[in-house]
């Protein structure tokens, strides 16, 4: 996009969307027998996405795997609704912060276009 | 668009939980039903869920056109089937009842209302969780749209 910061923000928001999709999927499958909670390692994926972008390569989809260490219920399902609720609001807040930062960047470009007059 | 797929996933969860709630209320309503079209007393119904992909027709065609790598394996949920409880009916001694057999016993459905009530509460809570997921995703989409303002 415009500069390094905006492309990093773009990757960050992409990953947050992908994670939010997984959280929605985990919540929808909270009663599905045998379903295992799915997630990816956010730090690793984000570091990878940034380095790929720096090399002008398109980052691939994140590597999704079942989450370990969650209590298994009798029907073979290990969705923990408290964990999903926390991730749901955390992702939404992070996304909101990132989109506000991105809007600030876009605002600066707009100010430059308008030669500093008005907003 | 990953976020719109998340909306469909949440909606699939709501739909599945509603089907479950319908089956459970049917069980509660028919807890004393001794006559059914199939003959014999009512039999308890239960819903089985399975995970499923929820690609909307538009997005799947669009993704194929864009040759995107959007398939992260995330899926929604669907009703795999409705199973009928095979357990034998509960025999109660009611000689005056029109459905009583020769010995005076009437076959009543084998239903424990407490069990269905607890399941119904679970279905309602899960429905709410899916609503919360949809509203969080909706806020994220709105924030993205606000970038254009």
Does the beta-carbon distance from A14 to B132 stay under 8 Å? no
Chain A residues whose CB is inside 8 A of the B3 CB are 17, 20-21
Instruction: Determine contact: B74 vs chain A, CB below 8 A.
Output: yes
Please report which confidence band the pLDDT of residue B69 belongs to, taking 50, 70 and 90 as the band edges: very low
pLDDT at residue A119 in the model? 58
Q: What is the mean pLDDT of residues A21-32?
A: 93
Higher pLDDT, A14 or A61: A14
pLDDT at residue A97 in the model? 95
Separation in Å, CA of A34 to nearest CA in chain B: 9
Does the beta-carbon distance from B6 to A24 stay under 8 Å? yes
Higher pLDDT, A58 or A23: A23
**Which of A15, A59, A11, A64 is CA-nearest to residue A38?**
A64
- The neighbouring-strand residues paired with A33 are none
Higher pLDDT, A4 or B116: B116
Q: Please say if the pLDDT value at position B34 is more than 70.
A: yes
Neighbours of B19 (CB within 10 A): 15
Positive or negative torsion for Cα A108, A112, A114, A115: positive
Q: Please say if the pLDDT value at position B86 is more than 70.
A: yes
- The string of pLDDT tens digits covering residues B91-114 is 999 999 999 999 999 999 999 999
Higher pLDDT, A8 or A1: A8
pLDDT at residue B68 in the model? 45
Q: What is the mean pLDDT of chain A?
A: 90
pLDDT at residue B56 in the model? 63
Please report which confidence band the pLDDT of residue B67 belongs to, taking 50, 70 and 90 as the band edges: very low
Chain B residues whose CB is inside 8 A of the A14 CB are 2
Percent of chain B exceeding pLDDT 70 equals 86
Q: Specify whether the CB–CB gap between A82 and A31 falls below 8 A.
A: no
CA distance A90 to A27: 15
Instruction: Determine contact: B83 vs chain A, CB below 8 A.
Output: no
Q: Please say if the pLDDT value at position A3 is more than 50.
A: yes
Q: Please say if the pLDDT value at position A115 is more than 90.
A: no
Q: Specify whether the CB–CB gap between B122 and A31 falls below 8 A.
A: yes
Token pair of A90, please?
């955390």
Higher pLDDT, A4 or A84: A84
pLDDT at residue B71 in the model? 46
- The neighbouring-strand residues paired with B105 are B93
Provide the strand spans (E) within A1-119: 38-39, 65-66
pTM: 0.82
Please report how many Cα atoms fall inside a 13 Å half-sphere around the Cα of residue A24, on the Cβ side.
37
- The string of pLDDT tens digits covering residues A98-109 is 999 999 999 888
Q: Specify whether the CB–CB gap between B62 and B4 falls below 8 A.
A: no
């Amino acid at each position: 996009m415009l500069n390094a910061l905006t492309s990093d923000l773009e990757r960050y928001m992409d990953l947050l969307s992908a994670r939010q999709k997984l959280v929605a999927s985990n919540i929808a499958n909270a009663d599905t027998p045998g379903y295992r909670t799915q997630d990816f390692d956010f730090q690793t994926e984000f570091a990878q996405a940034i380095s790929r972008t720096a090399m002008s390569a398109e980052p691939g989809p994140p590597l999704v795997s079942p989450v370990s260490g969650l209590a298994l219920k009798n029907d073979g399902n290990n969705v923990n609704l408290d964990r999903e609720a926390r991730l749901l609001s955390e992702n939404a807040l992070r996304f909101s912060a990132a989109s506000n930062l991105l809007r600030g960047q876009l605002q600066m470009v707009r100010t430059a276009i308008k030669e500093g007059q008005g907003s | 668009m990953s976020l719109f797929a998340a909306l469909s996933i949440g909606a699939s969860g709501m739909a599945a939980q509603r089907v479950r709630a319908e089956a459970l209320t049917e069980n509660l309503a028919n807890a004393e039903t001794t006559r059914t079209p199939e003959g014999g007393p009512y039999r308890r119904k239960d819903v089985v869920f399975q995970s499923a992909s929820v690609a909307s027709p538009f997005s799947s065609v669009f993704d194929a056109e864009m040759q995107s790598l959007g398939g992260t394996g995330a899926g929604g949920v669907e009703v795999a089937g409705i199973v009928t409880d095979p357990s034998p009916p509960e025999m109660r001694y009611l000689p005056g009842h029109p459905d009583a057999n020769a010995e005076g016993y009437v076959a009543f459905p084998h239903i424990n209302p407490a069990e269905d009530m607890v399941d119904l509460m679970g279905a309602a809570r899960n429905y709410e969780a899916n609503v919360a997921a949809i509203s969080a995703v909706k806020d994220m989409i709105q924030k993205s749209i606000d970038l254009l303002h």
